[in-house]
Amino acid sequence: MSDGASTDGFRLDPTGERWICGGPITFANAGPVLEASRALAFPPTGVIDCDALHPVDSAGVAVLVALKRRAARENVRLTFVNITPSLHTLADLYGVEELLTS
């Protein structure tokens, strides 16, 4: 995933400064996506770009919340940017919007 070839899950952007979250994160693949993310060090800026995250469901929101928990354990300030409208709606519905936008 970290070589930039994968479109599903997380990978470093070409500058190596942020993660790009791409492809779907749904019930169908959330477990493997989360497991694969554990092998990656957080980006130096702590930024995860969610613009290419399509589609997403509640399992995708859970993956992002799990990343926030991991970041807190590792003393990393994680910031999600380019939150898609569907991700924003789901996060609001589940009461975790501030975790994704803070």
Tell me the CATH number at 19: 3.30.750.24
Q: What is the mean pLDDT of residues 4-8?
A: 49
Check residue 101 and give its pLDDT. 83
Q: Into how many domains does the chain fold?
A: 1
pTM metric for this prediction: 0.89
pLDDT digits (tens, 9 = 90+) for 55-64: 999 999 999 9
Could you count the other beta carbons within 10 Å of the beta carbon of residue 93? Answer: 11
Do the domain assignments include residue 1?
no
Give the up-direction half-sphere exposure of residue 87: CA atoms within 13 A in the CB hemisphere: 29
Residue 1 has pLDDT above 70, yes or no: no
* 81: pLDDT strictly greater than 90: yes
- Domain extent for 27: 9-101
In a domain, 3, yes or no: no
Percent over 70 (pLDDT), the chain: 93
